[in-house]
Structure 1
Amino acid sequence: MIRWKLAVVMAERNISNKELAALIGMHPTSFSRLKTRRRLTRIDEATLSALCRALKCQPGDLMVYEEDEPDRLK
């Protein structure tokens, strides 16, 4: 699964929801939903580019791949 790390990156850069939402041109409520996701479902290229530009980071800084836990059938 792809784990979304936007909240972590924001905390490291000490930037608020409201400030980042304004920088990327997104409504604060929509941005809050985007930030609180734990798993990355979909994100369009324009939004990802805007986040990277505003946070001065690479896309890989905002997400990480983690192996899913195997099913425990026994």
Structure 2
Amino acid sequence: MLKCHLSKIMGEKRLKMSDVSRDTGINPGTIRRIFNETATRVELNVVETLCEYLKIEVGDLYELTKKSNEEKIED
């Protein structure tokens, strides 16, 4: 499962979703879904734009984690 660290990164940089959206041109709804980890797919150009804007690497934004036993049972 992919874990997104956008909320943590934005918190550390004291950025608001509206600021990121305005500065990057990314749709506010897209930022919100990524931030809340409800996005089911994200365009690569959006990931690239976020990484460039935040001055981070893709691996800083997303982390591949193992599913817990509880999550495996629900799937």
User: Normalized against structure 2, the TM-score is what?
Assistant: 0.79
Bigger relative CO (Cα 8 Å, ≥ 6 apart):
1
Greater CA radius of gyration, 1 or 2? Answer: 1
Return the alpha-carbon distance in structure 2 between the equivalents of residues 68 and 30 of structure 1: 25
In the TM superposition, residue 51 of structure 1 has moved relative to its aligned partner by 0.1
| Of 29-38 and 41-50, the range deviating more from structure 2 | 29-38
| Cα distance in 2, alignment partners of residues 31 and 68 from structure 1 | 24
Higher helix share: 2
The alignment of Structure 1 onto Structure 2 pairs a total of residues equal to 71
What is residue 2 of structure 2 aligned with on the other side? 2
> Which runs of 5 or more structure 1 residues have no equivalent in the other structure?
none
In percent, how many aligned pairs have the same letter? 23
